[in-house]
Structure 1
Amino acid sequence: MDRKKIITAAGTTAAVFAILAAGGTSPSDAVSVTWGAARHAALLTAGIKLPDNTTAFPARNPIFSEEEQPLTEESPPECTEAAELQLTIEEAELTAEQTEQTEQTPEPPQPTAVTSEAPSEPYARVITQNIAEFDDGVDRTSAGNRSGPIYRKHYGDYVGDDYIDLPGGGVVWNCTSDSAEKLTAAAESQPDIVVTPDVQEPQVLIVHTHTTESYEPYQRSYYDAEYPFRTRDPDYNMTRVGDALAQKLAEHGISVLHDGTIHDYPAYTGAYDRSEVTIRAALEEYPSIKVIIDLHRDAISSADGSRTAPVAEINGRNAAQFMVITGCDDGRFGNMPEYLENFRLACMIQSSAEKLYPGLARPILFDYRNYNQHISTGSLLIEVGSHANSLDEAVYSGELLGDCMADALLKLSE
């Protein structure tokens, strides 16, 4: 199976210091060093030996702060011309002999932030596979046609018997016959999932059943009907958002497998059957996976031809609101007896989102749906924005979602 593995550095002090040693004069200069060489040099300097084609996120807690970094060499003592003239021939010969001995016997290396004595230093990583390069040739800078309006809307203030306030914060939109009391009680307990942070074995799998779903090229008040809202270009479809989510999880110490297999092209029908094959293959290769995220985007259109972009302002920037969907089985599926385990995980992520970024999450959609959530507990579908959101809003939301997921998953660690 064709596979491309990428591992990205987490930007901890140890890694930055090692990159500076490769020739940079400041953290910003260090970042500008060619990524491949800089990462490799950083890890070798840190004494971390990795499998081929992989790179580690160094430990989240560096041993030394930037001010405490030990020196690796000392400045030679100054000597004056007068002192040199006072040397006798014997002293000069002795000095030359001592210098030669010093050159032949180098001083032992000084300690660095991460030494070679600890090759098993824990680290997280992102593994990406099945992401094919493709340029769709679309001009994403032109104004385009004004085919219809885009309305930016913040979804909040939910009223009705179908909406249930969660004990830890957040809301569930209950579209099932399960009672509010049953769901509230379920939300008060954690799922039977154990996530192990700071290890190289992936704990989270990110896939995209509808991989080609894409976004507006930039934030605007109208849409162009001729502009494609699906593309195989991984820089502009769900793969891009999945990458933002994966990188953020790894920064928090949670290793991720991100699979970019396209399941909805050339045929849309049968995409979930094909993504099930991808998921099962990943679980077989990496039995360490505990959580499965199928990342999508929504499509919100009205009869008048308008489109809606769900947004929340977070830290002065527009982020696409996300929505977690978790399925319920009333016997029609017959293969989701533990659906409440998925529901509990969804509630944890929802509550973390309300704590960290209030208003970022739309209500959890709890409905009679499968979405391959029968494969394993810890399976969720998450919609990031809609086809009216811009790509930058969706990518930003992917990063914020990573913070929310990490906050929840680290509560499930050993």
Structure 2
Amino acid sequence: MRRKIHIKPIAAGIISLAAAVFILPAAPAALKAMQPMIDKIVQDAAILSLSAAMPQGGLALLKERFEENNSQSSRPEQQSSQQAEHEDAQSGSEAYSPDDMQSLNEDEYTYGQSSSQQGQQGQDIPNIPKEYQAPVLEEDMSNPPSQQYIKHGGGLIKNLTKLTEAQVYSQLGKKYTLSIKDIAKPQVLIVHTHTTESYNQYDYKFYDTRNNWRSLDNNNNMAAIGAEMARVLAENGIGVIHDTTQHDNPSYNGAYDKSAVTIKKLLKENPTISVVLDVHRDAIVRDNNLLVKPLSVINGKKTSQIMIIAGCDNGSFNMSNWPVNLRFAANLQSRIAEKYPTLARPMYLTYKKYNQNLHDNSILVEVGSCGNTMEESLNSARLFAEVLSEMLISYSN
């Protein structure tokens, strides 16, 4: 199905705003009163600009996302001309130390509670025209048939490379070491290559096929998930840098090149960083537009299931550190499976780069899919960060 972009209301608002500014140059009070409308028009214009760069349809957008992932895997490093494009993206990063958490207002970290996310809180069932309805399937994806996977500790690994099972086990059998001298200094860098990825608005059996699962509001996209992870890590005494740059605004194209610039900059500024997390959300669409939400109930709460992805060098990525990343990912996967057996889907080992060549202990983390809600994914982010905290503390001197 095709998504129609409704331009007229936005254009009318912009025209009205221009007229008001022209007519009322000497009436600051009147302009102040119009500020909410001005803000809304600016936001709508930004969304319109973003939409113009998208395929015409939410499901087509999901396809574009994975095409961008595939092209990135073999793309050479970009020249410095990429820097100017990067600087145009909405950006920002925050550092969290354990001491900071004592003074932070808890409300500041209550994400995903806007009116669009309250379907799970008893709000009315969404009114979706029948022609735009497609089914949502809740599925526990944590324990598929084990013969298809490599087992490591309590976790499972899906080997999508040409490496034999014996070769993978050979790498996993090597001792994993991580030495953290001062855990309160920045140890974890959280970034989002696809920051504007967002979630389904309601916990419901149908979804709206016109949805593009994107949001420019960092309270309702992957930045909110990263912030929740950062909060939990800092509460456990671990220094964190969380970058909220919207590398995929206005387009997925080139997002990995932009996030590489961010990662390199923050690694240079924070040499104590031990772990790099690129936090995304997945998209699982089957025949007849069936949208799958990987889901578990943990501690009585609906919780999105996460998936860790470790890249493997196919000989052209210049990623000699992939075995280190694999061992880090597999150890974390095992710890998650032991503490929360249904939190994680099997880990993927695949011929992709995902900027994991830039630093040891780099992984990509998919938190739920576009079928999940923000609330379900925040629950997941907390549990994931809790296990990661325990792992890092165990390696702290």
Could you tell me which of 139, 152, 173 is aligned with 2:138? 152
Match of 1:61 in 2: none
Structure 1 match to 2:156: 171
Q: Percent identity?
A: 35
What is aligned with 2:257?
273
- Structure 2: which amino acid aligns with 1:238? M
Aligned pair partner of 2:351 in 368, 381, 394: 368
Matched position secondary structure for 1:397: helix
Runs of 5+ consecutive residues of structure 1 not aligned to the other structure: 20-33, 40-125, 127-135
Q: Secondary structure at the match of 1:304?
A: helix
Aligned to 1:398: 381
> d(CA) in 1 for partners of 2:351 and 2:93?
36
Residue among 339, 354, 366 paired with 2:322: 339
- The CA distance in 1 between the partners of 2:142 and 2:259, in whole Å, is 32
1:412 matched residue in structure 2? 395
Q: Amino acid of the residue matched to residue 154 of structure 1?
A: D
Task: State yes or no: 1:295 paired with 2:284.
Answer: no
Question: 1:245·1:401 contact (CA, 8 Å) conserved in 2?
Answer: yes
> How far off is 1:138 after superposition?
6.6
The letter for the 1-side match of 2:159 is: N
Give the direction of change, closer, same or farther, for the CA distance of 1:139–1:320 in structure 2 (3 Å limit): closer
Is residue 197–residue 253 contact of structure 1 (8 Å, CA) maintained in 2? Answer: no
Distance in 1 between the 2:99 and 2:232 partners? 9
In the other structure, the counterpart of 2:238 is 254
CA gap 1:302/1:260 in 2 versus in 1, 3 angstroms: same
Deviations 1:60-116 (A, max 9, x none): xxxxxxxxxxxxxxxxxxxxxxxxxxxxxxxxxxxxxxxxxxxxxxxxxxxxxxxxx
Which residue of structure 2 lines up, in the alignment, with residue 355 of structure 1?
A: 338
Q: Which residue of 2 aligns with 1:194?
A: 179
Aligned with 1:306 (options 290, 307, 329): 290
Q: CA deviation at 1:158?
A: 2.6
Correspondence for 2:38: none
Q: Give the TM-score normalised by the residue count of structure 2.
A: 0.69
Q: How has the CA–CA distance of structure 1 residues 158 and 197 changed in structure 2, closer, same or farther, with 3 Å as cutoff?
A: farther
CA contact (8 A) 1:190 1:345 kept: no
The SS at the match of 1:292 is strand
RMSD: 2.9
Greater Rg over alpha carbons, structure: 1
Aligned amino acid, residue 296 of structure 1? H
Any stretches of 5+ residues in structure 2 without a counterpart? 1-86
Query: Alignment partner of 1:289: what SS?
Result: coil
Q: Which moved more, 1:217-226 or 1:1-10?
A: 1-10
RCO higher in structure (CA 8 A, sep ≥6): 2
Contact 1:352-1:407 at 8 Å conserved across structures = no
The 1-side partners of 2:97 and 2:301 are apart by 25
How far does residue 318 in structure 1 lie from its aligned partner after superposition?
Answer: 1.1
Match of 1:183 among 165, 168, 173: 168
On the 8 A contact 2:161/2:351 being kept in 1, the answer is yes
Is the CA contact (8 Å cut-off) linking 2:188 and 2:277 kept in structure 1? Answer: yes
* Counterparts of 1:356 and 1:137, CA distance in 2: 33
Q: Secondary structure at the match of 2:366?
A: strand
Counterpart Cα distance in 1 of 2:303 and 2:218:
20
Does the aligned pair in 1 maintain the 2:117–2:375 contact within 8 Å? no
Choose from 223, 245, 252 the match for 1:239: 223
Report the counterpart of residue 248 of structure 2 in structure 1: 264
SS of the residue corresponding to residue 323 of structure 2 reads: helix
Q: What amino acid maps onto 2:149 in structure 1? A: Y
Count of matched residue positions in the alignment of Structure 1 and Structure 2: 296
